[in-house]
Amino acid sequence: MPPNKSAHVDKVLSLMNVLPRVRNCSIIGHVDHGKTTLSDSLLAYSGLLNPQLAGQALLLDYLDEEQTRGITIKTANISLVFDHGGQDLLVNLVDTPGHVDFSGKVTRALRLIDTAVVVVDAVEGIMIQTEHVVRQALESAVRPLLYINKIDRLIKELHLDAKQIQQRFKAIIEGFNSIIESRSIGGVEKGWKVDLATGTVAFGSAIDGWGATLSQFLKRYKNFGDIIHAYMDKEAGKESVKDLKGALPLHAAIVEMVVQNGPDPVQAQAYRMPFVWRGSPSSDIGKAAADCKAEASTLVFVSRVQIEHGQAIATGRVFCGTLKQGDELVMVRAGKKERVGSIGVFMGQRIIQVDAVPAGNVVAIKGLKDIKAGETLVSADYSGDERDLAFDQMSYLMEPVVTVSIEPEKLADLKKLEDLLELKVIEDPNLKIEESTQTGEILVSGIGPLHLEVITHEIKAAGIAVMVSEPITMYHESIEAASKSHAATSTNGKNEIVLRVEPLLHQDGQALKLARAGVDKGVVRKHTKEMLKQAKISWKEAEIDGLIAVCSGMIPVIYLPPKTTKSAPLPQEDERLIVDAIESMAKHGPLVRESMSSMKIIVEKASFSEKADERDPIEITPIIRQAVFDAMNEAGVVLLEPIFESAIYGAVENIGKLTSLVTQHGGRIEAMDQDGTSIKLRAYFPVRESFGLIEEARNMTSGRAVFQNAFAGFEKIHKGILNGIISDLKEKKGLV
């Protein structure tokens, strides 16, 4: 029998200190594949949900908007206790969204956990978003395990026999393993491929509450025909399916898979730290974090911040030390000290207050002012030998590519709206808020239309009536070729800059990303340069040595004086002036004031006054903007637009209509698969065309076309349509 809630909390508190019996786990996967339904089954066994409601309550979808839409929008944390082989086991569980518009929340959740149960719909198989979330997990050195869900659909809808179901399993497992094989993370991933025989794959039906690993299944049934019979037995009806739940309880399958194959915090941190933390592994705190020591200085990574009743609640993981109520901590990125108000553990919507949370566990923290996602917290009295304490900034799968303008219907609500949006950005770092300098409108940018719809709903729910424009696409400005050197001098005549620009090759951008160059406010570390020298990057060694920073939009800034000139290294304060100026001016390029991207800025000379009042940003930023814009205009400014990779599902008879429609909307078909009367197209098309394309496709096929989109990067707009897009953007921005 499941424990009662009071006993459950007591067990959570006692197990937090027994790390071999702790697992930090997340449920990830494509939208609507059954992640939250699976969570319900785990909650029911833990005594936190009526077993009769499991699969229907969607307890971790506690926002009204989630219940209405039937999808998960935010991440939800909960600590669960299970009996495994006569011993209690603590699972810190994180449920995540599957919709691509909320993929940033998956990225942040992966920092908290060590094992990811990837849920795949047996009928739909590996989808685009499945591929992306598994790759995200691997990049954070998180062990992926596989749960094949909705077996009931294979039987009741597709009427497959046991052999065909076996073939379906084989195809899904092979597809899953091919994703793992495609992502090398220094050998850590060796042995992570999944297999029914090793218990790294479970299967079942979350909606019906049953599931099993292969070994569990064979202990109760001879073959899969028994499962098919349970669903097709008209005489026994629903009772035979209920018997499945009793014989093969879903929670037992997931717990078995996670316990046997998922690492405990001590095992995980030993290999995960180099992938998430930038400090030296040989430092005192580096060793303590790798060993997950509770008797050490406290080191916490904050992955998420929620605002409730005006108070920030930070979700983090304690990597070493023991966090206690009242502790004084340094917020490393913010550079300030704060005292912890209270701490707790998560129970879905509720936070249970506790006195201390040791290393290896997930914690809720209240009382830290100005806390933001991505912050590193360390004991205020830390005096060890590590100076580089911050965790790496998170690298997101997607970036904001869609914008709406939002205006309050009543001018009196303007300040209230601005304050609310400021809080939303703290909660959701994937949101971008800006005020148009031309029109004065508030521009809100997000990952996709649904992302922005949810934000708009939350604004209206707060009692602010707003007018919202139709969504428009965000673009980037870049260059076609390399420029000559361009100089600019400040108005006071005391500061001079000489620079040139070059396009950034795609493979070089990938190398910078893999080397984590610029993940921390643009700063490039020494070992990053060493990694770049070993990587397949086309730069000369002098360029790598001269790399100062990588600014937003993947803009490397390099100090490289001409060989004919004898120059000392740039003072650090001069480097900071240049980088800050480029970060500021790169938000609005010279063509249509879209953000700049994918270009190298090579500084050949920087001569600044030694007097502070003669070299402030008011003097420096304009000359850098002038020199960069002059260089870009000479090199040829190009406009880049965001592209969706899409899996399009439809009927065979509609194949001609769908391929023609994608082509008409500026897209291209890359692959085509047929399965009986169904087809799957893999296509690429511009985000700007996606709004009308998807609606037209559904109308043309009577709703029988399904699009699953994922961000695929930016591509250059071809000249045939470029002038029209530029004119449209200038008109919308008041630049005409």
pLDDT 10s digits, 502-551: 999 988 988 887 766 655 555 677 777 887 887 778 999 999 999 999 99
* Separation between Cα atoms, residue 197 and residue 261, nearest integer Å: 12
The one-letter amino acid code at 308 reads E
The one-letter amino acid code at 639 reads L
* Separation between Cα atoms, residue 268 and residue 275, nearest integer Å: 11
* Separation between Cα atoms, residue 656 and residue 125, nearest integer Å: 24
* Separation between Cα atoms, residue 553 and residue 513, nearest integer Å: 11
Return the pLDDT at 555: 94
The one-letter amino acid code at 511 reads A
* Separation between Cα atoms, residue 195 and residue 676, nearest integer Å: 27
- The token duo for 412 is 């009196």
Q: What is the CA radius of gyration of the chain?
A: 27
* Separation between Cα atoms, residue 312 and residue 371, nearest integer Å: 7
Look up the pTM and report it. Answer: 0.75
Q: Which residues contact 359 (CB under 8 A, 6 or more apart)?
A: 19, 265, 289, 292, 293, 294, 296, 318, 319, 320, 321, 322
Return the pLDDT at 438: 61
Q: Answer for the pair 156, 291: CB distance below 8 angstroms, yes or no.
A: no
* Three-state helix/strand/coil letters over 585-641: HCCCCCCCCCEECCEEEEEEEEECCCCHHHCCHHHHHHHHHHHHHHHHHHHCEEEEE
Where are the alpha helices (H) located in 221-332, listed in sequence order?
A: 225-232, 238-247, 250-261, 265-276, 284-290
Return the pLDDT at 708: 74
With 0-12 / 13-18 / 19 or more C-beta atoms within 10 angstroms meaning exposed / middle / buried, residue 532 is buried
Low pLDDT (below 70) residues in the chain: 1-6, 8, 30-35, 41, 44-76, 95-105, 234-237, 348-349, 393-398, 436-440, 515-523, 564-565, 736
Q: Answer for the pair 341, 371: CB distance below 8 angstroms, yes or no.
A: no
Pick the closest to residue 603 from 633, 576, 639 (CA basis).
576
The count of C-alpha atoms lying within 13 angstroms of the C-alpha of 593, restricted to the half-sphere facing its C-beta, is 14
Return the pLDDT at 35: 67
Return the pLDDT at 120: 93
Return the pLDDT at 69: 34
List of domains in the chain: 5-265 (3.40.50.300), 277-379 (2.40.30.10), 402-471 (3.30.70.870), 477-635 (3.30.230.10), 639-733 (3.30.70.240)
CB atoms within 10 A of CB 70: 11
* Separation between Cα atoms, residue 397 and residue 104, nearest integer Å: 7
